[in-house]
């Protein structure tokens, strides 16, 4: 008998439950995809952070995996902001607010922006 690599419950003779693995993979795609949309959303950064963390928890996403997904999301958010020509200062400030919500410093945002090709 094995414990599921995701939820930790017994998975019989398998290493994981198919549904757990699927939920985990879906969350890792869903979380970064939220970020560019957050630029024009009215949701407070804290609400956005809570939502992302809630999805991560319910899909057995580990802290390290979440951090990578957030970094990917911040890249997409910066890309979206760089493409837009009509952003308000408040929308630009949102990038830093959202980054801070996930404990990414302003320097991290600068670094990610510098990595854009």
Per DSSP, the three-state class of 85 is coil
Spatial CB neighbours of 65, under 8 Å, sequence gap ≥ 6 = 28, 56
CB 39 within 8 A of CB 94: yes
Q: Which of 64, 61, 71, 74 is nearest to 35 (CA)?
A: 74
The binding site for Zn ion (CB under 5 A) comprises 4, 6-7, 17, 20
Kindly state the smallest distance separating residue 27's Cβ from Zn ion, in Å.
Answer: 14
Separation of CA 22 from chain center: 17
Tokens of 106: 């302003």
Q: Which is nearer to Zn ion, 4 or 56 (CB)?
A: 4
Kindly state the smallest distance separating residue 10's Cβ from Zn ion, in Å.
Answer: 9
Kindly state the smallest distance separating residue 63's Cβ from Zn ion, in Å.
Answer: 19
Q: Which is nearer to Zn ion, 19 or 84 (CB)?
A: 19
Kindly state the smallest distance separating residue 57's Cβ from Zn ion, in Å.
Answer: 14
Q: Which is nearer to Zn ion, 17 or 75 (CB)?
A: 17
Tokens 């951090």 belong to 67
Q: Which is nearer to Zn ion, 4 or 61 (CB)?
A: 4
């Amino acid at each position: 008998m094995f414990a599921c690599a995701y939820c930790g419950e017994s998975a019989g003779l398998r290493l994981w439950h198919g549904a757990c693995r699927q939920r985990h993979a879906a969350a890792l795609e869903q979380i970064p995809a939220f970020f560019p949309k957050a630029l024009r959303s009215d949701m407070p950064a804290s609400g956005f952070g809570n939502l992302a963390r809630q999805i991560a928890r319910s899909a057995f996403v580990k802290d390290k995996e979440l951090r990578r997904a957030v970094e990917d999301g911040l890249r997409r958010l910066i890309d979206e902001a760089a493409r837009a020509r009509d952003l308000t200062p408040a929308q630009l400030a949102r990038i830093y607010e959202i980054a801070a919500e996930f404990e990414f410093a302003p320097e991290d945002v600068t670094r990610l922006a510098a990595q854009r090709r």
